[in-house]
Structure 1
């Protein structure tokens, strides 16, 4: 066999490899007993076109690849697609903001209760039994407390509603302390405007209150259901998230996530204990002085104490205003009591109960609470401190060492 010489056109000594491949892929239609002449012409034309394209006689050069990753057009298209995806993602987050807040709150509480479940599992209970015990205990304590507190709350709220006209009359007395406060801050006008007697505003207020109650009840049910699922599937969720991390960094990520979970758990349990102490102390104080609505205000102080920095202060102001209806010395004594309790909580109870789990400076705490409250309301203010502690831990353990090595 003689050696074939290269032909510039690729047509004289047979087609090139791409052309031969094209010839095998283009069958000729049969027409009766012979080949279709139209089909044969099309095949021959395709072979000639392919051979000409693959030939080397191209005065302006051979074509490059179809897609060049460094092409400005391709880079611009990919950048525009990335921007569109991010805009759509942000819109989804904003639209589903309320649902995401409930999911985050349930996950936050689940991480806080995870140490209790782990303790029960180490004592020999299966995980499903430990989760059931924790959830049933939590619901039992909450239900028992509400069953015991609701009758008293209803009676105190009824008494407060019955005394509301007398309170309004005291606001019009310019010689009383409440009257002077009314003259300065126009409290009576604000109350009359919010509960006007034309029927429309009152009906709107009742319907609005009903909607709020329904929303709170449905949100609570959603959080409870999500809490049960999160507590049951928390180990699987952790493993799944860790599998998304490259193997070379997985051990480090596991250590950081375990440390963050431990800090969040300590913070949640410690904050619940502090709120219980604040409510109990307030209830005892108000009973000792004979102040009205002790249980109602004690529950209010306990709930507000869950909000860091400003919660207990707002609760103390509420008790102070109620104490003003008794006498000025009792109100001043209540103010002094809450100032002393706030100092005791900040410098004695918090270090003993929460410990060093959340090491956040005072300035970072205030800024985090303000941002969290502005973004997500009360729930954002509650989770702001542990979230800041987690970010601070990641910055100290990951970002700063890399910057030092740079």
Structure 2
């Protein structure tokens, strides 16, 4: 191009002459030149800048999809927890699809039967609570009653009114509660659907994850990974069993002593007990406060019941049902639950213990042996 060339082009003209020499019929565009020096300041700077940009983009992507990723992680966690039941049926000559259908039919039947029996009682007790609310308000304003003296000392009524006022009034509070309930139901539906898909396809997911590991390390990775899966499964089923026991014992205790709203409180205790360490404490405080509306002796007895059950759960139920599978020290359990709750709220506290068990297993089987040989 631009023929003929003049001397004013300088080094460009020289490069043009050299280009004409290296062009051959076999390689009209010349041979491949030397690779760029990856140690040059320009190349290092561009690589670092590209790495920072990609890292920042990934962080923004994860932050934007955090809510969905949490739901996906929770669904996978539940799927691993249900896998022992599915595997048990498969070993009994059930096809995988039939085993998955059987497990979910039984689970939905149990949940449906529970709500069918509990909803009428919940509605009845909620109606009674709303009906007696004015009476409780009058007692709170009467300095001669126990509730009034507690209100005078701890300013309970002002605290409730400030919470109600900060929500923008009754209408906005109801709308906010409706949005919250709709959001919870939507998230629950997403988790259920994802859990079904994960359970149905878990063998393929498992094999895909193991194929990402080099062939030489794959056998040991399978042993460690399956051990972690077993720990998660044992924890999910065991935690659910302990929660059911807590709800049943609480319901029995409250019915014996005539504490109002026994079904509501028992369900609340069972749900709260799913949260390790702090859940049973919150449940005990809740039922003790409601028992105070009956009498002070009943309240003290309920506090004693909550303490005794907490000790029995920590030193009898959990070691027998969950402790055998996880083998996590008490200190690690408390720290893991606190960190999980601070990072991901209730879901973080729920999955913290099996995650801590997995980290401990990896440390014992991989990290410590290498450090001992270093």
How high is the TM-score relative to the length of structure 1?
0.84
| 1:136 pairs with 2:105 | yes
Alpha-carbon distance, 1:226 to partner:
0.4
CA distance in 2, matches of 1:331, 1:130: 47
Q: From 33, 36, 42, give the equivalent of 1:73.
A: 42
Conserved? CA contact 2:274–2:350, under 8 Å: yes
Alpha-carbon distance, 1:85 to partner:
1.6
| 1:178 pairs with 2:147 | yes
Where does residue 246 of structure 1 map in the other structure? 214
Aligned pair in 2 of structure 1 residues 253, 179: CA closer, same or farther (>3 Å)? same
Any residues of structure 2 matched to 1:159-308 within 5 Å, and which? Answer: 159-196=128-165, 201-308=169-276
Aligned pair in 2 of structure 1 residues 134, 18: CA closer, same or farther (>3 Å)? farther
Alpha-carbon distance, 1:18 to partner:
9.2
Alpha-carbon distance, 1:16 to partner:
10
Where does residue 364 of structure 2 map in the other structure? 396
Where does residue 405 of structure 1 map in the other structure? 373
SS of equivalent to 2:326:
coil
Where does residue 127 of structure 2 map in the other structure? 158
CA distance in 2, matches of 1:248, 1:16: 51
Alpha-carbon distance, 1:321 to partner:
0.3
Aligned pair in 2 of structure 1 residues 200, 308: CA closer, same or farther (>3 Å)? closer
Q: From 67, 70, 73, give the equivalent of 1:101.
A: 70
Where does residue 86 of structure 2 map in the other structure? 117
Any residues of structure 2 matched to 1:17-32 within 5 Å, and which? Answer: 19=21, 21-23=23-25
Deviations 1:108-155 (A, max 9, x none): 010011010000001011101100111111111111111111111011
CA distance in 2, matches of 1:335, 1:345: 15
Where does residue 350 of structure 2 map in the other structure? 382
| 1:354 pairs with 2:354 | no
Conserved? CA contact 1:194–1:201, under 8 Å: no
Alpha-carbon distance, 1:180 to partner:
2.8
Conserved? CA contact 2:167–2:173, under 8 Å: no
SS of equivalent to 2:201:
helix
Conserved? CA contact 1:271–1:354, under 8 Å: yes
SS of equivalent to 2:144:
coil
Alpha-carbon distance, 1:324 to partner:
0.5
CA distance in 2, matches of 1:397, 1:138: 36
Deviations 1:52-100 (A, max 9, x none): xx9xxxxxxxxx8341222232223222222222221111111111111
CA distance in 1, matches of 2:190, 2:267: 23
- What is the count of residue pairs matched by the alignment? 358
CA distance in 2, matches of 1:24, 1:103: 57
SS of equivalent to 1:195:
helix
Deviates more, 1:69-78 or 1:159-168: 69-78
Higher helix share: 2
Deviations 1:149-198 (A, max 9, x none): 111101101101111111122222223332232223321012223335x9
Conserved? CA contact 1:112–1:267, under 8 Å: yes
Conserved? CA contact 1:170–1:178, under 8 Å: yes
SS of equivalent to 1:174:
coil
CA distance in 2, matches of 1:378, 1:199: 22
Conserved? CA contact 1:316–1:338, under 8 Å: yes
Higher relative contact order (CA 8 A, sep 6+): 2
CA distance in 2, matches of 1:351, 1:24: 78
Deviations 1:267-288 (A, max 9, x none): 1110000000000000000010
CA distance in 2, matches of 1:179, 1:90: 52
CA distance in 1, matches of 2:332, 2:323: 18
Aligned pair in 2 of structure 1 residues 81, 295: CA closer, same or farther (>3 Å)? same
How high is the TM-score relative to the length of structure 2?
0.91
CA distance in 1, matches of 2:121, 2:193: 29
Aligned pair in 2 of structure 1 residues 20, 191: CA closer, same or farther (>3 Å)? closer
Conserved? CA contact 1:174–1:183, under 8 Å: yes
